[in-house]
Structure 1
Amino acid sequence: MPTGTRRRGGSARSATRTDSGCGFEHDGRSYRRLFEGPLDLALPDFSLPAFNDSGTANVRGQARFYECALAHYGEARFAEVIGGSNRRSLEALINGVEPLPEPPAETRGSRNFESAGYAVLQHGTGENAVWLCLKYGPHGGGHGHPDKLNFVSYAKGKILGYDPGTAAYGVPIQKEWYRTTLAHNTLTVDQQSQKPAEGRCLAFGTRDDVSAVFAEAGEIYDKVTYRRAVALCGQNLVVVLDLVDAAAEHIFDVAYHNAGDWTRPPTGEPLTMPDLDGYKHLKDMTQVGGALPPIAVDGKLQVGVALASLSPAEAWAGTGVGANTTDRVPCVVTRVRGNKALVAWAMAAEGGVPTVKVAESGSGGSAEVVLGGRTYRLLAHPNADPKVVAECEEGRVAASSPH
């Protein structure tokens, strides 16, 4: 443990001199954001979502660098990262602040980062908060994945909505699964992965214990417009509304992957998957006609998943690939054929199985979810004002812009 008073020598000072000589301004906003950015996007347990060519990582594993940042900037929130470490690094010895400042009161509610293209919906405090991140922004260059409007979710200390991240470069499964759209919680058209694209946020809002975001995917397919609205209601329920419009008829597959295991095998007509990237790695897929069984994330946490489609649709359930080829993760796919699709989803983090209804509403659509005798509504209208509305007993939010 560092002892004595605050020290600002050593590596922090050397880094300041070196980088300033290279044209970096340490007291400028951009350099400070190197330390703030991971905290802004981190899950409640300080891990980072496995978007693009990344895997599981935790900001607390970089505590030694935050020793330098805290010494230089005096930002109390950096102490949250340092406080969970043993502080036995060289950076702590040379730069360590003692005693550590008290971290600020919980301020990380729902937030939207337009330039980066991530919307975070978060309710609750500490590591048991509920969190969801919708990815709508830039593709990500050579390390980007074709997963516009994909999301990762978390509740009660566990990842729920799942992104598998990446595999070692060059192994077949990297191309055949991890870099396919189907491996992510988003839309695949005609069984082919999305094109690189940059989406945009249409509306974002948070109030009381309700948060909502509405985003557009951009040019992921020729003459196909894909929009997705997501609402976090209280600390239990996620509602998703997918709106797809196209100039011609297509096959629309919307997938959802949830960490854990089915509490019992989904029942229905067995399906044979096509020998195509993504699809050929789905296993035990059945076309289900009734309610989906809950998903057991661990011994205590179960997730109820339900879906509804405005037009005739097939609901498939089975497993996809997780961290490796032997790790299987529950997967649900909704398939709609036509020139448009309107699909609603609900995911309940406390084990109850919701029921869902979906309807057209003006230029957009609406979802109504019933869970535990309570009703939740999500409306999305790309050409109306407000563009997105979410309402339930916890409150109501209506938003017309991304701000």
Structure 2
Amino acid sequence: MVRYTHQDYSLMTQPYYRQMLDLPIKLLMPDDTEPAFNDCIPMKDTVTYPDLYEFAYACYGEDNYARMLSIIYDKEPRPSLGAFLYGDPRLRITEPVRETGNYHDPDNGITIFRNPDQGRAVVVKHTPYGGEHDHYDKPGLIIYDQNVAILPDMGTTGYGAPMHYSYYKNTLTHNVQCAEESNRHPPIRRY
């Protein structure tokens, strides 16, 4: 198993490194996808990061990363390059345990209300304006019922497509109130 934690220039002891690994787990939707924000492509953001979480589990050994691997390997077999390079033999794949609690991050502008028994989730996007990669989509709304996105956010199409700027980045293409056929103004960040 490859270990990187003791390298001189490793970032793994920095607190932001674990926060980066933890965020996708906190954002999981009932269908094991990530919310379609900004320039992501909806329905293609299914959680398939086995290399990342094999590495995270091998380095930190945290149950949260084992839980994420159980969700990933519920849909695909474990034999992968990540499992070969970083796979920890102590890992025991169990029945996937999905996120059940609500999530609120006012600094990043994401709130998720969950009712896992019904496969329901409501995502409210109230992020600060993110510049070029952002869309005019605040406050954005995504709704799941019975593990299906009944009010999805369309995200975007691939870069270079003519409709990227003329359609996908605009308020009307997101689940946001649109007034006077105009894009919403970017939110002003107050410090």
* Structure 1, unpaired ranges of 5+: 1-8, 201-403
Q: Which residue of 1 aligns with 2:58?
A: 71
Cα distance in 2 for partners of 1:196, 1:188 equals: 13
Cα distance in 1 for partners of 2:183, 2:22 equals: 33
- Tell me whether 1:87 sits opposite 2:63 in the alignment: no
Cα distance in 1 for partners of 2:68, 2:129 equals: 29
Cα distance in 1 for partners of 2:178, 2:86 equals: 49
Please give the residue correspondences for 1:3-402 in structure 2 after superposition, counting only pairs within 5 Å: 9-10=1-2, 13-14=3-4, 16-17=5-6, 20-21=8-9, 24=11, 26-56=12-42, 57-59=45-47, 61-83=48-70, 84=73, 85-101=76-92, 108-125=100-117, 129-198=119-188
- Pair 104,90 (structure 1): closer, same or farther in 2 beyond 3 Å: closer
| Deviations, residues 344-367 of structure 1 (Å, cap 9, x unaligned) | xxxxxxxxxxxxxxxxxxxxxxxx
| 1:88, distance to aligned residue in structure 2 (A) | 1.7
2:67–2:97 Cα contact (<8 Å) kept: no
Q: Which residue of 2 aligns with 1:215?
A: none
- Pair 76,63 (structure 1): closer, same or farther in 2 beyond 3 Å: same
1:64–1:82 Cα contact (<8 Å) kept: no
Moved over 3 A (4+): 101-107
Cα distance in 2 for partners of 1:50, 1:92 equals: 28
Cα distance in 2 for partners of 1:27, 1:113 equals: 23
Structure of greater relative contact order (alpha carbons < 8 Å, 6+ residues apart): 2
Bigger Rg over Cα: 1
| Deviations, residues 227-254 of structure 1 (Å, cap 9, x unaligned) | xxxxxxxxxxxxxxxxxxxxxxxxxxxx
**TM-score of the superposed pair, with normalisation by structure 2:** 0.84
Cα distance in 2 for partners of 1:82, 1:38 equals: 12
Structure with greater strand percent? 1
| 1:166, distance to aligned residue in structure 2 (A) | 0.7
Q: Secondary structure at the match of 1:21?
A: coil
Q: Across the two proteins, how many residue pairs are aligned to each other?
A: 183
- Pair 196,90 (structure 1): closer, same or farther in 2 beyond 3 Å: same
Q: Secondary structure at the match of 2:49?
A: helix
**TM-score of the superposed pair, with normalisation by structure 1:** 0.42
- Pair 95,130 (structure 1): closer, same or farther in 2 beyond 3 Å: same
Q: Secondary structure at the match of 1:69?
A: helix
User: Which region of structure 1 is more displaced relative to structure 2, 38-47 or 142-151?
Assistant: 38-47
Aligned-residue sequence identity (percent) comes to: 29
| Deviations, residues 53-79 of structure 1 (Å, cap 9, x unaligned) | 1113122x1112100101111111222
Q: Secondary structure at the match of 1:79?
A: helix
* Structure 2, unpaired ranges of 5+: none
| 1:174, distance to aligned residue in structure 2 (A) | 1.6
Q: What's the RMSD between the two structures over aligned residues?
A: 2.4
| Deviations, residues 114-139 of structure 1 (Å, cap 9, x unaligned) | 111000000124xx521111001212
Cα distance in 1 for partners of 2:178, 2:84 equals: 51
* 2:87 partner amino acid: G
- Pair 139,183 (structure 1): closer, same or farther in 2 beyond 3 Å: same
- Pair 162,45 (structure 1): closer, same or farther in 2 beyond 3 Å: closer
Q: Which residue of 2 aligns with 1:293?
A: none
Structure with greater helix percent? 2
